[in-house]
Amino acid sequence: MIINKKSFPSILTVCAMTCALMVGVWFLLSNTVDKVVEKEARTTAIHWADYFVSHLDDIETLITKGIPDPKQSATIDKAVEFGEVFRFKIFRPDGTNSFISDEYKQKQDEESLIVENKKAARVFNTGNSNIEIKDGRQKANRPDVYVEAYVPIEDKSGTRIGVVEVYIDQTEMVASLKDGFNWIALFLPIISALFFLIPALALLKESASAKEAKAEAEQLANFDSLTGLNNRRSFNDSAESYFKDYSSIGTLFIDVDNFKKINDENGHDGGDAFLRSVGHTIKSKLGENAIFARFGGDEFVACIGDVTPEELKIIAQDILASIAKGMIHRGQEIKGHVSIGLNISKSNEPLTDMLHAADAALYKSKSEGKNTITIFSDALSNEFKRQQKIEKLLNKAVDGTGLEIYYQPINQPETKKILGFEALLRLRDKQGEMISPEEFIPVAERLGLINDIGQWVLGEAVKTAKEWSNETFISVNLSSVQFDQGDLPDFINGLLVKHNFPAERLEVEITESLLIRDDGSTQKQLAAIKSMGVSIAMDDFGTGYSSLGYLWKYGFDKLKVDRSFLLGYDQDPKKLEKVIGSIIHLGHCIDMNVTIEGVESDAHISFLKGMNCDQLQGYYFGKPMTQANAEHMMKAA
């Protein structure tokens, strides 16, 4: 049941209702006693009058003259003993009194006689009895409670002949009635109160659980369920009023480094414990004056009012050092560290700007090797603005908008014939400026856009190459992120089928970084792609581990020797000759073609002559160019 404030009567209302009920019951019962006494008196009086009339011979004479004969006196004596009647008076049809059963007549004053006479005359005339309950406590020779009942007297034929006023002692009856009613008057409200109070208490209980549910909902809405810390929402809600008390705000953006690894190594339970520990360590270092929240995942944000850059840095260092100490969870040590971005702004700046700046500094900490602190600066600001610009462009570019593919020829060393083209992606900004893939590909990877973009490149490259002469191959660079979902072979296969493109004319280039993090899935996918007939090239060979083991294990078709080798040509050509010669020899030993990248000059060409490499690529043959220029180059050759 959902109880809202409006539908729920407060306990005060319930108490007021119960009190009103008790007063009401009391009032009702008091009235009821009077009514019962009156009813009882009326019945007694009428019965008595009936009895009197039926047992008294010649009542007409008694009414008229007022003097009973001896027989009548005996009946009168009997009647007075009957039904608590302690006195009666007989009146004539005009209301005058003719007889009183005791000596009371002498004590009556003029005034009360007139009242009595009037009442008797009225009862005679109307035929309606008149019953009055009297309090006799202050009067001599009267019971505490008695009734004066004027009842018309009728003869045996039903003709009204006079009025009898009967005095009935009701003290005992009233006492017993009141006694009974007192109990009822006491218990009825109690029972009624219980009747109300029980549901009221139930309602109160429900109200308490409704309050609890509300508190729980608030807890969920404002607090992070894992750490119990404030969440992003409550942080945002409280920020504005918090900022009002300060002139400057220091922001800390804290992110756990390699959290996925911590989770993988210690299980989710361990990962959760680590996040809780990080959250509470940060909180303990911030002091009372800060606002702090878990922003989600492994991100935490704090703002501190009027803090100097030095103080902010000391706090950040303290946090970094404390977290790096690690923690113990279920007897196991969990090690991990965080990166921190710091920023100080004027307190009237928008929160989003403060957070962006601290986030930019954090980004820098991450790119500089993690477990570090970076303070936001103007230089970083430019870098950050550029990042944001690229992010914006990329978000729009997912369907290809703003993206272009350039093509760089790959040539035969002796004949210089074009063997194929490498597809190289370009991002163009609104002003027409080209942004290098070395700059925007990592951003696309970080934003999770590289899959869509990578698929777009593959599709465009295949479509373009389909129009070329049958021998020319097209080589496409793949990001390691494109292997994460495991559906890359299917996508490539679908593309080949759709465009009826010979698999042998497609080449994919990957780098060593993909293989280092392989859990078996990459190897499977590469094998699947290779089995279609697509050629697989190891790109930028010589820049990383240059592991021969990898080359062997993954069965590459081609080795692309990074252009950094040829950059060293001028320093020591002899040594370079040996190094490149060895790589070519090694490649051939394990059935790989070898491509030398970065061929820029005639000197490079003569140097490489006779080295038995398979393909050459570089500015000497052509810079990456538009599709039209590439096609023009092919025709001209």
Residues binding Ca ion (CB under 5 A): 477, 509, 539-540
> Residue 441 binds what, of ligand C2E, Ca ion, none (CB under 5 to 8 Å, by partner type)?
ligand C2E
Please state the closest distance from residue 310 (CB atom) to ligand C2E, in A. Answer: 41
Please state the closest distance from residue 615 (CB atom) to Ca ion, in A. Answer: 12
Give the burial class of 204: count Cβ atoms within 10 A of its Cβ; 0-12 exposed, 13-18 middle, 19 or more buried.
middle
Decide whether 143 or 454 has the Cβ nearer to ligand C2E: 454
Torsion, Cα 97 99 102 106, to 10 degrees, reads 40
Binding of ligand C2E at residue 441 (CB under 6 A)?
yes
Interface residue with ligand C2E, options 457, 536, 538, 630 (CB under 6 A): 457
Token reading at 418: 């074009």
Decide whether 336 or 624 has the Cβ nearer to ligand C2E: 624
List, in sequence order, every residue forming a beta bridge with 31; answer none if it has no partner. Answer: none
Binding of ligand C2E at residue 409 (CB under 6 A)?
no
Decide whether 14 or 510 has the Cβ nearer to Ca ion: 510
Contact 65, 142 (CB under 8 A): no
Decide whether 273 or 410 has the Cβ nearer to Ca ion: 410
Binding mask 369-408 for ligand C2E (x = CB under 6 A): ---------------------------------------x
Interface residue with ligand C2E, options 539, 587, 615, 630 (CB under 6 A): 539
Contact 247, 347 (CB under 8 A): yes
Identify residues 493-522 at the interface with ligand C2E (CB under 6 A): 509
Segment lying near ligand C2E (by CB under 6 A), choices 21-29, 287-295, 326-334, 437-445: 437-445
Decide whether 375 or 478 has the Cβ nearer to ligand C2E: 478
Please state the closest distance from residue 396 (CB atom) to Ca ion, in A. Answer: 25
Interface residue with ligand C2E, options 146, 618, 627, 630 (CB under 6 A): 618
Closest CA to 408 of 627, 602, 613: 627
Helix (H/G/I), strand (E/B), else coil: 101:
coil
Identify residues 476-495 at the interface with ligand C2E (CB under 6 A): 477-479
Contact 26, 185 (CB under 8 A): yes
Binding of ligand C2E at residue 563 (CB under 6 A)?
yes
Contact 199, 14 (CB under 8 A): no
Segment lying near ligand C2E (by CB under 6 A), choices 12-20, 312-320, 353-361, 592-600: 592-600
Within 10 A of 404 (CB to CB), how many other CB atoms are there? 14
Helix (H/G/I), strand (E/B), else coil: 359:
helix
Please state the closest distance from residue 294 (CB atom) to ligand C2E, in A. Answer: 33
> Residue 631 binds what, of Ca ion, ligand C2E, none (CB under 5 to 8 Å, by partner type)?
none
Binding of ligand C2E at residue 604 (CB under 6 A)?
no
Please state the closest distance from residue 539 (CB atom) to Ca ion, in A. Answer: 4
Token reading at 553: 């294990």
Phi, psi of 575 (to 5 degrees): -65, -40
Closest CA to 450 of 512, 403, 513, 384: 403
> Residue 598 binds what, of Ca ion, ligand C2E, none (CB under 5 to 8 Å, by partner type)?
ligand C2E
Please state the closest distance from residue 501 (CB atom) to ligand C2E, in A. Answer: 17
Interface residue with ligand C2E, options 116, 169, 540, 614 (CB under 6 A): 540
DSSP string, 291-316: EEEEEETTEEEEEEET--HHHHHHHH
Binding of ligand C2E at residue 456 (CB under 6 A)?
no
Contact 298, 276 (CB under 8 A): no
> In 506-617, which ranges are continuous DSSP H helix?
512-516, 521-531, 548-554, 564-567, 573-589, 602-608
Please state the closest distance from residue 444 (CB atom) to ligand C2E, in A. Answer: 8
In the 8-state DSSP scheme, what is residue 9? P
Binding of ligand C2E at residue 436 (CB under 6 A)?
yes
Give the burial class of 59: count Cβ atoms within 10 A of its Cβ; 0-12 exposed, 13-18 middle, 19 or more buried.
buried
Q: Residues in contact with ligand C2E, total (CB under 6 A)? A: 24
Interface residue with ligand C2E, options 483, 598, 608, 630 (CB under 6 A): 598
List, in sequence order, every residue forming a beta bridge with 336; answer none if it has no partner. Answer: none
Distance between CA atoms of residues 25 and 469, nearest Å: 107
Decide whether 189 or 618 has the Cβ nearer to ligand C2E: 618
Decide whether 342 or 478 has the Cβ nearer to ligand C2E: 478
Binding of ligand C2E at residue 110 (CB under 6 A)?
no
Distance between CA atoms of residues 10 and 177, nearest Å: 37
DSSP string, 399-413: TSTTEEEEEEEEE-T
Give the burial class of 544: count Cβ atoms within 10 A of its Cβ; 0-12 exposed, 13-18 middle, 19 or more buried.
middle
Segment lying near ligand C2E (by CB under 6 A), choices 243-251, 328-336, 483-491, 598-606: 598-606
Segment lying near ligand C2E (by CB under 6 A), choices 152-160, 200-208, 396-404, 430-438: 430-438
Binding of ligand C2E at residue 626 (CB under 6 A)?
no
Decide whether 364 or 563 has the Cβ nearer to ligand C2E: 563
Closest CA to 555 of 584, 535, 578: 535
How far CA 566 is from CA of 411, 447, 542, in Å, comes to: 17, 34, 11
Binding of ligand C2E at residue 619 (CB under 6 A)?
yes
Segment lying near ligand C2E (by CB under 6 A), choices 115-123, 307-315, 334-342, 596-604: 596-604
Please state the closest distance from residue 250 (CB atom) to ligand C2E, in A. Answer: 38
Please state the closest distance from residue 537 (CB atom) to ligand C2E, in A. Answer: 9
Q: Which residues have CB under 8 Å from 616's CB, separation 6+?
A: 410, 411, 412, 413, 595, 596, 599, 605, 608
Cα maximum dimension of the chain: 171
Please state the closest distance from residue 406 (CB atom) to Ca ion, in A. Answer: 12
Decide whether 420 or 624 has the Cβ nearer to ligand C2E: 624
* Binding region for ligand C2E (CB under 6 A): 408, 424-425, 436-438, 441, 454, 457, 477-479, 509, 539-540, 563, 597-600, 617-619, 624
